[in-house]
Amino acid sequence: MNYIRRSLNIIGVFAVISIFMIMIPMASGQDSSDDSSENIKEFLPPNYAFSTNYYNSYGEPDLYASLLGDYEFERGETAQVQINLANKGVLYGFKYATSVGTNEGKHASSLQELQYETMRTTAIGINAELISTSPYIEIDPSASIRSMKKLVPGSLPDNPLVYVITISDHAPAGIYYLQLPVSYEYQSEVRMTTNEVYRLGVTGLDHTTDYKSANKTLIIPIFVKGATEFEITDVSGHLTAGFPSVVNVTYKNIGEIPAIDAIVRVVVMKPLVVEQGVLRLGTVEPGESKTVSFKATADRNSLVKDYGVDSEIKYIDENGNTAFSENMKISVPLEPAPDKLGVGTLALGGVIVLGIFMIIKLILNIEKYK
C-alpha cells in the first residue's frame, strides 16, 4: 500500500512539472503576440532549419536627388537648401528556389513570400549628409546630416531634406557641385517560417528578412550669380597741412557685370575738407580700371598721420536698377606744413644784408679818396 502511495506521489510531481513546462511557452507566446515584421529585427532571426526560401527576387533601390526652388544664389547669402530624394528602383523579376509540389500550405506560403519580395526595392534607414568641396561654400555643421525612415519607389517623401548653406562674399560666379552621400539598407532575402518556429518562443512571425547595406553619392549643382564688385588698386598723392592737395584713386571692377554710369562719392571728416565730393567714373566694364582725382585740404594744425577717406560707388546694374558698392577706405598720408622763418634764419638774413651794406660803403669810400 505504501509502495502504491509513493508511486502516485512521484507521478503527481512529474505531472505538475510537465504542466509548468507547458505553461511557460504559452505565457511567452502571449507576451510576444504583438510581434510584427518591422520589429522582428530586434530578435535573432530563426535559422534556416525553421524557414524556407521559395523565391529569389532581383532588383534594389536606386536613389536620385533634386533641388527644390531656385538654384541660383548671391555672394554673401545664407540660405536654406531643400532637396528631394526619389527612388527609381526596379524589381526585375523572380526565380523559384524551392518547389512546393501539390502541398497547398506551401503553395500559400510561396505566394505570401512573393508579396514580401516586392518590397526589395524599398530603401530604409536613409542617412544623407550634405558636403561642400569648395572653400567658398559652407554647410551648417549642426544640421548637415538628415535621416529618413524609408523611401518607396514611385513616391516622394512627405518632407524634403533641409540644409543651410553660406556663400562667401568672395566666391567667383559659376556653378558649384555639392555632394550628398546617402547610406541605407534594403531587403536582400525573404524566407517563410515553418510551424516549428514556435519552439523558439516566437509567435506571429510568418517570415524572416535579411538586409544589405548600400551607399551612393549624389551630386547637387548650385549656381552663384555674377555681380559688380569694385576694389581700390592704387592711391597716389598726399596731403600737406594747410595747403590743398590732389589725391588720385584707381578703382577696378573685379566682378562679372558692368557698372553703368558709375559715380564715386567721397566722404571725409574733420580736419579734412574736399572741394568736390562726387566724381564721375562712367561705365566700367568687368576687369576695367578707372582713376578719379579729388582735391582735399587739411587744417594747418592737423595731426600728422594717415587719414581714412570713405568712398562709395553708385551705378546702374544689369537690370536697370540703382545699386551701390561696399564702402571702400582710401588711406591718405598727411605731411607737416613747411616751417615758418625762425630767429636763426632772420639773423642770417641780417648778417647778409649788413655785409652787403659794408661792401657798398667801402667801395664808396675808396672812390672818395681817389
Q: pLDDT digit string (tens) for 207-217?
A: 888 899 999 99
Is residue 250 within 8 Å of residue 214, measured between CB atoms?
no
- Give whole-number Cα distances, 98 to 47, 51, 55, 161, in Å: 17, 12, 7, 42
Q: Mean pLDDT over residues 124-150, rounded?
A: 95
| 70-84 pLDDT per residue, tens | 899 999 999 999 999
Spatial distance between the Cα atoms of 294 and 306, rounded to a whole number of angstroms: 17
Spatial distance between the Cα atoms of 141 and 138, rounded to a whole number of angstroms: 9
Per-residue model confidence (pLDDT) at position 155: 86
Per-residue model confidence (pLDDT) at position 228: 92
Query: How deeply is 216 buried, as exposed, middle or buried, from its count of CB atoms within 10 A (0-12, 13-18, 19+)?
Result: middle
Lowest mean pLDDT among 80-84, 111-115, 229-233, 349-353: 349-353
Is residue 264 within 8 Å of residue 281, measured between CB atoms?
yes
Q: Mean pLDDT over residues 277-296, rounded?
A: 94
Per-residue model confidence (pLDDT) at position 38: 44
- pTM listed for this prediction: 0.66
Cis peptide before 157 (omega within 30 of 0): no
Q: Mean pLDDT over residues 142-155, rounded?
A: 92
- What pLDDT band is residue 96 in, cutting at 50, 70 and 90? confident
Per-residue model confidence (pLDDT) at position 26: 35
Per-residue model confidence (pLDDT) at position 49: 58
- What pLDDT band is residue 6 in, cutting at 50, 70 and 90? very low
Q: Which helix (H) or strand (E) holds 265?
A: strand 259-267
- What pLDDT band is residue 231 in, cutting at 50, 70 and 90? very high
pLDDT of 344 above 60: no
